[in-house]
Amino acid sequence: MNKRIIFLIFFLAFWLVDLLMIYLDERVFLIIPRVLSLLSLILYCFFSVKKITLNFCVLSFFIMLTGALFSVNDYTLIGMLSLIALRITWIKLLLSYKEKTEAKIILLVFILSLTITSIVIYTMYANTYFFCLSILTSGLLLFLLAISFSRLLTASPLFGNKEMFISIVIFIFSDALSGSKKIEGTSTFFLILSVFLYNIAYFFLIKSLIKKDVKFQLAA
């Protein structure tokens, strides 16, 4: 069987185990299926592309590290710092693809989305250092959204741009659900939905990177 298919099956299997353990409230060993599912997805990408870049390797490291840290304890300082590093690396990787972007679109989308998000985050994290960290992590994600949206309009929806945009949008919804855990009364269903969306977002991110690899191999 093709290695790509094997790792994709592993990803789906460990993903289901991850969701089941959240449902059963078995958080002690949650780190195992969480890391294995992300590792399987990264290996799926590894065997799907022709060229592995340093940016991809660093991004993969922070994807697994952040997943591991958040599975052990949500919203720790080190977990948030890892998430910040992940998104900075993601921005660097996205900018490494020399595609047409429109600065005005990036600025407009970023300012509008960050303003709205800041108001929402303030209601949950007011007077805590998590307010600053959450603004920073959300700001980085929204900057990714702005770049991706610009390329979707000015470059082409082909070669991974559409998948990249979908991935970021899903991450925004998943972040919102994950942040709702700070609100008393959040149900297990929304926690499961948050992790479900995270994995779908990572899958679209990986599909985008695979398509971009095809594009730049053709251009080489």
Complete DSSP assignment for 99-153: ----HHHHHHHHHHHHHHHHHHHHHHHTTSHHHHHHHHHHHHHHHHHHHHHHHHH
**Angle made by CA atoms 127, 133, 137, in degrees to the nearest 5:** 140
Number of domains in the chain: 1
Average pLDDT value for residue range 29-41:
94
Q: Which domain holds residue 211?
A: 3-219
- Dump pLDDT digits (tens) for 113-138: 877 777 666 666 655 666 677 778 88
Percentage of residues of the chain with pLDDT beyond 90? 37
Question: How many angstroms separate the CA atoms of 192 and 22, rounded?
Answer: 7
- Dump pLDDT digits (tens) for 70-108: 888 777 889 889 999 999 999 998 888 777 777 787 888
pLDDT at 197 exceeding the cut of 90: yes
Tell me which of 43-52, 100-109, 119-128, 144-153 is least confident: 119-128
Contacts of 25 (CB under 8 A, 6+ apart): 188
